[in-house]
Chain A
């Protein structure tokens, strides 16, 4: 295949604890570390591995967001992506809108394969890849744990509830990544330096011809109900007695 497109998202770093704003309007991201969404990082790594195996010629990463999202695009290029595109906007973007914007780029770039993370760890929606496949009328393989090309056919092993399932499909196709697909590499300093010189093209969202108005109105964001404090038990006997009293065994 010639081109792989990898859409990536910048999110609150997965190791940071989200703070709910006291006015209930959302999560406070000010001063917090933002990073590439872990599933997106796996998507970039997989694309780079396909290129290293000689199965792809060019990897284009794309992100939708503020100018700050250039950081994750540079990181993806340090991992091995060839060039980047930012669809710039300061508005919140829902998965349906993201899928439409990525379709806009896909129609320009004409990739053979689009690899995305299965979900972003901020909104936990798990929708964009499937929506994109539907809008493009392409086949999809979600929650991928292994990818293999056999002649012109893509074989994808998927993590499903009861185990694994393998699908075969022609290109172009959409694949979404699960955790076990690979372990992303660390970027070396020379590669980070090289990534600074790679092309990063910025497109304002207004020229994409997509209505970015949100469909879901967030009425409130709150912390989950805290659990009532528990207590320590001395030994197995006391534990069994307590569980019997609670009526759970």
Chain B
């Protein structure tokens, strides 16, 4: 009952979502191996070796794997998968891209985006944008599963490192190749793993206000900044900040929804947050139905007040 996890990383550091996948894997098997694929991934492999619960790190270091493209990484996982009972990954853009290829080639039905492990073959997962939760039991002998990282705590760091083993990539001609990448640079914590998230909606009124109103508060609280789809569609914020059914799913300790009305598709991305605060001038905004603390007021007054009080 050994589980293989595909590590999610950006080439430099291990994504916290991987340590969360380790927590989920601990309910599914008795040994856990992590595959770190990429180019010059020594530091990432080291980080993976120090995640509690990891028994072995497989390192595939190859220029072809530099951007974790689906074809080579899936091929590697398919080769390796014969020695495992399950292959799992966090449901990040990398995990979602690669794992269904593995499932199809192994002729198994993937279980996507699980939020709870009930047994090694039985899982809970949200459907209809989180408006319903289904419990599914897989009849496939081999399992392919992606993990909703916000539903699991990260497995802690340990001082003793798990052993590493170098493996090589099967040689094949890959069809798709990498051209370029534009990553949004931010000094803020990463949206999906931040302890506090401040999201702005259409109530901010402009891209400039989105920055000038939210940034000081985010700095005080060391929070990540998110946005509703309405704010993204209006051009106030880039799409990778979008929280919702079609954007990122977050579940921080504290979520502040500022000038967000609370469309169903937004709620789907944040309603599992521990404490939700809504600030909106419309007392009937649906966001207040999920808020632990609601403040009816003008965000352009309230948010600067909050910044002052927090010093």
Residues on B with beta carbons closer than 8 Å to the beta carbon of A82: none
Q: How many residues of A contact B (CB 8 A)?
A: 77
CB proximity of A38 to chain B, nearest CB, Å: 8
* B291:A169 contact, CB within 8 angstroms: no
* B93:A143 contact, CB within 8 angstroms: yes
Q: How many residues of B contact A (CB 8 A)?
A: 87
* B295:A162 contact, CB within 8 angstroms: no
**Of A106-114, A189-197, A199-207, A235-243, the one touching chain B:** A235-243
CB proximity of A211 to chain B, nearest CB, Å: 10
* A163:B131 contact, CB within 8 angstroms: no
Q: Which of A231, A236, A240 has the most CB of B within 10 A?
A: A236
Q: Does A219 contact B (CB under 8 A)?
A: yes
Candidates B100, B136, B139, B192; contact of A130 at CB < 8 Å: B100
Residues on A with beta carbons closer than 8 Å to the beta carbon of B67: 165
* A233:B295 contact, CB within 8 angstroms: yes
Measured CB to CB, the nearest residue on chain A to B247 is A179
CB proximity of A24 to chain B, nearest CB, Å: 9
CA distance A222 to B292 in the complex (A): 23
Q: Does B216 contact A (CB under 8 A)?
A: no
CB proximity of B241 to chain A, nearest CB, Å: 10
**Of A44-52, A67-75, A133-141, the one touching chain B:** A133-141
CA distance A64 to B111 in the complex (A): 21
Measured CB to CB, the nearest residue on chain A to B112 is A125
Q: Which of A95, A129, A130, A222 has the most CB of B within 10 A?
A: A130
CB proximity of B227 to chain A, nearest CB, Å: 13
**Of B161-169, B206-214, B303-311, the one touching chain A:** B303-311
Q: Does A164 contact B (CB under 8 A)?
A: yes
Q: Does B188 contact A (CB under 8 A)?
A: no
Residues on A with beta carbons closer than 8 Å to the beta carbon of B254: 243, 248-249
A-B contact pairs, 13 of them (CB 8 A): A14-B265, A124-B126, A125-B112, A130-B98, A161-B93, A162-B183, A163-B182, A215-B138, A216-B136, A219-B136, A221-B135, A231-B293, A240-B309
A residues sitting closer than 8 Å to B (CB atoms) are: 12, 14, 17-18, 20, 27, 94-96, 99, 121-135, 138-143, 145, 155, 158-170, 173, 178-180, 214-224, 227, 230-237, 239-240, 242-243, 246, 248-249
What are the nearest 4 A-B pairs in CB distance? A130-B100, A215-B109, A131-B104, A139-B175
